[in-house]
Amino acid sequence: MTNHWIDFKNSDCILIMGSNAAENHPICWKWVTRAQEAGGTVIHVDPRYTRTSSKSDLYVPLRSGSDIGVLGGMIKYIVDNDLIQKEYVLHYTNASFIVSKDFSFSDGLFSGFDEAGRKYDKKSWDFEMDENGVPKRDMTLQDPRCVYQILKKHYDRYDIKKVSAISGSPEDKLLAFYKAYTATGKPDKSGTILYAMGWTQHTVGVQNIRAMSIIQLLLGNMGVAGGGVNALRGESNVQGSTDQALLFHIIPGYLATPRANWPTLEEYLKANTPVSKDPKSVNWWQNRPKYVASLLKSFYKEADLPTAYNWMPKLDAGQNASWLVLFDKMLKGQFKGFFAWGMNPAASGADSNKTREALSKLDWMVNVNIFDNETGSFWKGPGMDPKKIKTEVFFLPCCVSVEKEGSISNSGRWMQWRYAGPKPMGDTKPDGDIIYELALKIRELYKKDKGAFPDPILGLNVDDWGDGHVFDPHKVAKLINGYFLKDTTIKGADGKETVYKAGSQLPSFVMLQADGSTCSGNWIYAGSYTDKGNMAARRDKTQTPEQEKVGLFPNWTWSWPVNRRVIYNRAGVDLQGKPWAPNKPVLAWDAANKKWLIDVVDGGGDAGAKHPFIMQKHGMGAIYGPGLNDGPLPEYYEPLECPVTEHPFSKTLNNPTALIFADEAHKRTTCDPRFPFVCTTYRVTEHWQTGVLTRWLPWLTEAQPQMFCEMSEELAELKGIKNGEKVILENPRGQLWAIAIVTKRFKPFEVMGNPVHVVGIPWHYGWVWPKDGGDAANLLTPAVGDPNTGIPETKAFMVNVKKA
Amino acid sequence: MSGKSFFVDLTKCTACRGCQIACKQWNKLPAEETRNHGSHQNPMDVSAITYKTVHMKEVADDKGFMAAWLFFPEQCRHCTEPPCKMTADAYDDKAIYQDEATGAIIFTEKTKDLPDFDEIREACPYNIPRQNAETKVMTKCTMCLDRVQNGLKPACVQSCPTGTMNFGDRDEMLALAEKRLAEVQKKYPDAVLGDAESTRVIYLYQADPKSYHPYSVADATMPGLMNRKAMFAKLFGSKSRSKA
């Protein structure tokens, strides 16, 4: 989230799209309700009428996977009716930038497409630079090659008739939605978007969010109270695990994973440190060498930086090591061993039958979890012959989150310290202890038996992990914050020099050094655990009257970065530093005292001195985004499995760069009369993820006992299905049973003149427990993914539904 | 009249069922073995081991599209003049008692010796009392009296994230109910409070209470109950102003 949970209350219009916030994030509804009570409008756009819809002021149905059509239509509505927040768009976004002469777009494809390689050469998408190396701009926004005109032309095709025809959303509802949301383009109004997996789990997942980001920039909704782009995280600590680099392409602090084509630290830094010639661009990532050096020192305290970098494991050039690829390689026998740690891939990964078969190709698997699950017990699951499976499975029982101390970072980037509650049951251990003991044991074996390339193992800084026996979350939190390795003198902005002693905690990431004199396990968390103490453990509700207006609570826990509560807040004020919305300011420039008030300012310097989007090389909000793998502007593509053979915007049916596995074409279907219905997956309030925790809790399985399939009354009649009956869902990947919930909350969509039925299933069930609960929704989902993230398209695919 | 009351603002309920689960947890009630009946609701009714369940009702407009999805967290209303107690008192005035400080209606172990459970159940205009098949003890919501006597809110209220469930001194709850009714009526002109004068669980309905649940409010037209209602009216004065 750019903003935070409490901030929802400040919004004039809350759009919930790609999310069922009321059910899946029940606590957030407190703040959504506050916004409504203050006169705000809540809009829910979803294939299914949910509890979120029931509490919204406007519900707009849309067919799963047609979001970019609907959002593209809103962009056109904004441009056609000139509803942009002009000053904001002009000064804070790249709308005025001139794009290369070589850029073009034709029939669903951007320039530079390599059909055989299913990828783009992005060179032609670049901005045109002036003689100083700064992007050329046209402040009149009239140049046909400026971003604003390219945007206008691009979305000119997205008229409401076409949008309605492909999405199945009624025109009057779309218009009501556009009108209500775009009213937040007024400087003193703000609109926010709450989204979740309903947007990300598509082959256009990243572009769904990009489309909304463009809308937010056009309406001036970034950096303001009640605005922003807000991903509702499904697990309490998904934000934290992402920050700590759970994903393959980054190392902690959103730094690129070292690759074989950057064999030295010098080459790595050259490739990953952006340069801006614009003096007003903060270009924050120019500091990357400091963050990388400090991270390397946190891993390898005694090694010099080039050696430490050399010790880092590296991906091959261009290698995609995301989830779907990993399991594809596993299936092809390219893995010997596998740790399934706090994960249940046999139920959580797309195409469960593929995943489960892949597990059978391993020599060994270690399953660290609280309960038995479909992954650890895959070898005795449905359709498996234990005699034929060689995989040796080890189960390590770990303790539950409430039994251990440490921090979680919530969706609003608040790092919140939690204390251990009850003692762990039996011999279960915290994950930290399991990892720590494993590391100590591996080091012992390397010391004893040597082995290949022992240096990265023996050189690892495990002193900061514990006392030699027991894992210490405080020590690790202090290492993540970072500390000085040598006595260091630092000159402040005021010219004053301060000496920091070796061993003292870093007060902020501003002090991080590129020469190896500081260590920090994650630069964005620098400032969280200083010599003043554990900031995440703060529980102080005091705030100034201005902070109280927006519910900022700056002394409650700690928010990354530097306790900033609303990121990009510099865009929340005009060039003079005056808040766009004086009644709910997040930031304000005190000209007399030359200082920023309310929140911690993004960037620094006086009002108007710096461009506001400091993480962007050119300092501007990216209406045009030339970095993604599937285009600088979101374009409409159908899901890889879809109920139509064409759509109204181009002849390019699907995302041409989507992640697919060529040898699986026979497992995918489009417009196949055998599998005529769109299926989508989702969650219920009562269960969590694959249900590994919740299916074992009797009160929760009492409330949601079994796999179900929601469908319209019309479809039920068509298929002769009665409410509460058992049905079978199937496609070439698999089959599962579910109890039919026949409901008015699903309605058939009229798509390109034809009726299209959408059905929905939850993904929380698995064959292990409860005995008559059903199996995983992912038995049906395809192993195809977004070209940028690799996230699977589990929100829109094709199935058949029949009576059991 | 003093004591405690609940105010349940149904316009804020998202049916997250935190209250339903919290009730089970605090009262150490086992789970029922349920099946999906073609609904998100479960358990389908209150029982000897379920004091509270959230009912869900889909309401369509004349074209068959969803007009509202109504949620009704059902529990004992803790009547100010409880007909269950009046019925039980004829046999044993200690079987069901009314807590003096809070007004909570409590079924004791002695309910197992009452001769006719059906009589108790039928006396209740809200169809709340249930009986443990083995022990014959009668059961229902306890207002979490053990919590309330220790300065805590009932478990269901504690768990509610949206402000649907409220609990406090009766005067405060009545005032809150009237205030919210006035606010809510701007959006939902048919909004009403249910049986505010005669119960300690005051629901605010956005539409006809009967569209939520057949036993949402006491039914004056129901045969068998009419006499009892009439009797109440006679004994305690009829105050139906805020009832649908």
Q: Which positions in chain B touch A713 (Cβ < 8 Å)?
A: 64
Q: Angle A67-80/A160-167 helices, nearest 10 degrees?
A: 170
Of A54, A701, A772, the CB nearest to B69: A54
Q: Which positions in chain A touch B39 (Cβ < 8 Å)?
A: 723-724, 741
The enclosing H or E element of A291 equals helix A288-299
| CA–CA distances in Å: residue A519 to residues A464, A732, B138, B187 | 11, 52, 66, 57
Note the pLDDT of residue A450. 85
| CA–CA distances in Å: residue B97 to residues A324, B47, B86, B106, B198 | 63, 20, 10, 5, 17
d(CA A526, CA A564): 12
User: Do A227 and A188 contact (CB within 8 A), yes or no?
Assistant: no
Note the pLDDT of residue A235. 82
Q: Quote the mean pLDDT of chain A.
A: 97
**Partner A contacted by B67 (CB < 8 A):** no
d(CA A711, CA A155): 33
ipTM for the complex?
0.94
| CA–CA distances in Å: residue A126 to residues A97, A121, A136, A275 | 10, 11, 11, 15
d(CA A78, CA B194): 46
DSSP letter, residue A642: -
- Which of A702, A713, A737 would you mutate first to test chain B, the one with the most B CBs within 10 A? A702
Of A232-236, A300-304, B233-237, which range is least confident?
B233-237
For residue range A2-38, list pLDDT tens digits in order: 999 999 999 999 999 999 999 999 999 999 999 999 9
User: Do A797 and A679 contact (CB within 8 A), yes or no?
Assistant: yes
Note the pLDDT of residue B223. 41
Q: Helix (H, G, I), strand (E, B), or coil: what is residue B88?
A: helix
Check pLDDT > 70 for residue B241: no
For residue range A190-219, list pLDDT tens digits in order: 999 999 999 999 999 999 999 999 999 999
d(CA A522, CA A479): 9
Neighbours of B25 (CB within 10 A): 12
DSSP letter, residue A126: P
d(CA A726, CA A250): 44
What are A192's strand-pairing partners? A14
Of A33, A52, A772, the CB nearest to B162: A33
Q: Helix (H, G, I), strand (E, B), or coil: what is residue A59?
A: strand
**Partner A contacted by B28 (CB < 8 A):** no
Of A489-493, A762-766, B220-224, which range is least confident?
B220-224
Note the pLDDT of residue A604. 87
Q: Which positions in chain B touch A764 (Cβ < 8 Å)?
A: none
Check pLDDT > 80 for residue B232: no
Note the pLDDT of residue B226. 39
Q: Of A155, A187, A157, A206, nearest to A89 (Cα)?
A: A187
Note the pLDDT of residue A378. 98
Conformational region of residue B158, where left means phi above 0, alpha means psi within -120 to 50, and beta covers everything else: alpha
Q: Do B14 and A29 touch (CB under 8 A)?
A: yes
d(CA B8, CA A54): 17
Q: From the DSSP assignment, how many helices (H) and strands (E) are in chain A?
A: 23, 33
Of B42, B60, B162, the CB nearest to A705: B42
More confident residue, A603 or A44: A44
**Partner A contacted by B25 (CB < 8 A):** yes
User: Do B96 and B88 contact (CB within 8 A), yes or no?
Assistant: yes
- Report the amino acid identity of residue A43: I
Of A30, A52, A723, the CB nearest to B163: A30
Q: Do A713 and B36 touch (CB under 8 A)?
A: no
Q: Do B36 and A708 touch (CB under 8 A)?
A: yes
The residue-averaged pLDDT of B174-190 equals 97
* Nearest CA-CA distance, residue A578 and chain B, Å: 34
DSSP letter, residue A61: E
Q: What phi, psi does A297 have (nearest 5°)?
A: -70, -30
Q: Which positions in chain B touch A22 (Cβ < 8 Å)?
A: 14, 16
CA nearest to A30 within chain B? B162
- Report the amino acid identity of residue A536: A
Note the pLDDT of residue A795. 98
**Partner A contacted by B45 (CB < 8 A):** no
For residue range A397-439, list pLDDT tens digits in order: 999 999 999 999 999 999 999 999 999 999 999 999 999 999 9
Confidence of residue B240 (pLDDT cuts 50, 70, 90): very low
**Partner A contacted by B17 (CB < 8 A):** yes
Distant-in-sequence, close-in-space partners of A550: CB < 8 Å, separation ≥ 6: A7, A10, A225, A584, A585, A586, A598
For residue range A132-184, list pLDDT tens digits in order: 999 999 999 999 999 999 999 999 999 999 999 999 999 999 999 999 999 99
d(CA A269, CA B43): 59
Check pLDDT > 90 for residue B219: no
User: Do A178 and A77 contact (CB within 8 A), yes or no?
Assistant: yes
Percent of chain A with pLDDT over 90: 98
Question: Hunting for tokens 């593509």 — which residue is that?
Answer: A637
Note the pLDDT of residue B220. 66
User: Do A669 and A640 contact (CB within 8 A), yes or no?
Assistant: no
Residue A498 in tokens: 């301060």
Check pLDDT > 50 for residue B233: no
* Nearest CA-CA distance, residue A443 and chain B, Å: 46
Of A739, A744, A747, the CB nearest to B36: A739
Check pLDDT > 60 for residue B234: no
Confidence of residue B1 (pLDDT cuts 50, 70, 90): low
Collect all residues from A whose CB is shorter than 8 A from any CB in B. 22-23, 26-27, 29-30, 33, 37, 49, 51-55, 59, 684-686, 698-706, 708, 713, 722-725, 739-745, 747, 772
> Which pTM was predicted?
0.96
Q: Which positions in chain B touch A772 (Cβ < 8 Å)?
A: 35
Of A112-116, A190-194, A700-704, B228-232, which range is least confident?
B228-232
**Partner A contacted by B60 (CB < 8 A):** yes
For residue range A69-99, list pLDDT tens digits in order: 999 999 999 999 999 999 999 999 999 999 9
Q: Do B16 and A22 touch (CB under 8 A)?
A: yes
* Nearest CA-CA distance, residue A40 and chain B, Å: 13
B190-197 LR contacts (CB < 8 Å, sep 24+): B191/B11, B192/B242, B192/B243, B192/B244, B193/B242, B193/B243, B194/B242, B194/B243, B194/B244, B195/B77, B195/B242, B195/B243, B196/B242, B196/B243, B197/B80, B197/B239, B197/B241, B197/B242
What are A727's strand-pairing partners? A738, A803
